[in-house]
């Protein structure tokens, strides 16, 4: 089983206990929604920019961080788990994220090095893995265009938006029914 499938299955194994055990509060739901919305914006911008494994994308959010999709996932996951109202869910999420996404990023860096060689090495030397640089890095041979909704749809990013709406909707409903 590849790491992507394992990552998705592990998330699904955690969703049901999370939904059952969460105890959202209004302040945490608001903070979580803000983080989640920021995560969705970052993920959406990245998904609408990248052409996976066909070209080395170094524009848009990829000029700030090599892994904006994973940064967005981090913000979204942290937002949801904080909104859940139990202190141990964010800790569990952080452990899961470090273990699974850490390995994923290492594997993807190796693949991109294999596919793009020196161009990727130069990019990796100038753009941080996760925490974004404030000013965008400009590649000497810029490849890839900007954001398009067609690419956003092609990368199926609407699924993350739909999942976030469902998750936060459930948390809001649970809060109202407590």
pLDDT in tens, 7-27: 667 777 788 888 888 999 999
Task: Judge contact between 39 and 72, C-beta under 8 A.
Answer: yes
Q: What was the pLDDT predicted at 13? A: 79
Q: What was the pLDDT predicted at 81? A: 95
Residue 100 has pLDDT above 90, yes or no: no
Task: Judge contact between 69 and 43, C-beta under 8 A.
Answer: yes
- Between CA 151 and CA 156 the distance in angstroms is 8
**For the chain, which residues make up each domain, given as ranges?**
24-177
pLDDT in tens, 137-151: 998 877 556 899 999
Task: Judge contact between 101 and 166, C-beta under 8 A.
Answer: no
Tokens found for residue 51: 């052409």
Confidence tier at 54 by pLDDT (50, 70, 90): confident
Residue 118 CA to its chain's centroid (Å): 26
Query: Which DSSP category does 138 fall into?
Result: -
Confidence tier at 2 by pLDDT (50, 70, 90): low
Q: What was the pLDDT predicted at 7? A: 67
Q: What was the pLDDT predicted at 52? A: 81
Q: What was the pLDDT predicted at 154? A: 92
- Name 75's Cβ contacts closer than 8 Å, sequence gap at least 6: 35, 36, 38, 39, 42
User: pTM here?
Assistant: 0.90
Report the chain's mean pLDDT, rounded to a whole number: 91
- Taking each helix axis from N to C end, the angle separating 68-83 and 88-116, rounded to the nearest 10 degrees, works out to 170
Give the residue with greater pLDDT, 1 vs 109: 109
Give the residue with greater pLDDT, 71 vs 12: 71
Q: Which fold does the domain 24-177 belong to in CATH?
A: 1.20.120
CB-based burial, 98-108: b 16+ in 10 Å, e otherwise: eebbeebeeeb
**pLDDT (average), residues 121-125:** 96
**Greatest distance between any 2 Cα atoms in the chain:** 56
């Amino acid at each position: 089983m590849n790491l992507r499938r394992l990552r998705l299955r592990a998330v699904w194994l955690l969703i049901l206990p999370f939904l059952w055990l969460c105890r959202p509060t209004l302040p945490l739901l608001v903070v979580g929604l803000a983080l989640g919305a920021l995560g969705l914006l970052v993920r959406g911008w990245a998904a609408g920019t990248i052409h996976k494994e066909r070209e080395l994308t170094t524009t848009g959010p990829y000029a700030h961080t090599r892994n904006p999709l994973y940064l967005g996932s981090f913000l979204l996951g942290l937002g949801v788990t904080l909104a859940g109202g139990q202190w141990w869910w964010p800790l569990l999420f952080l452990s899961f994220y470090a273990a699974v996404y850490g390995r994923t990023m290492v594997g993807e860096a190796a693949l991109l090095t294999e596919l793009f060689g020196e161009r990727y090495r130069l990019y990796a030397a100038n753009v941080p893995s996760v925490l974004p640089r404030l000013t965008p890095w400009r590649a000497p041979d810029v490849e890839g265009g900007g954001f398009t909704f067609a690419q956003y749809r092609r990368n199926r990013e609407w699924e993350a938006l739909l999942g976030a709406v469902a998750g936060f909707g459930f948390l809001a409903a649970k809060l109202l029914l407590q």
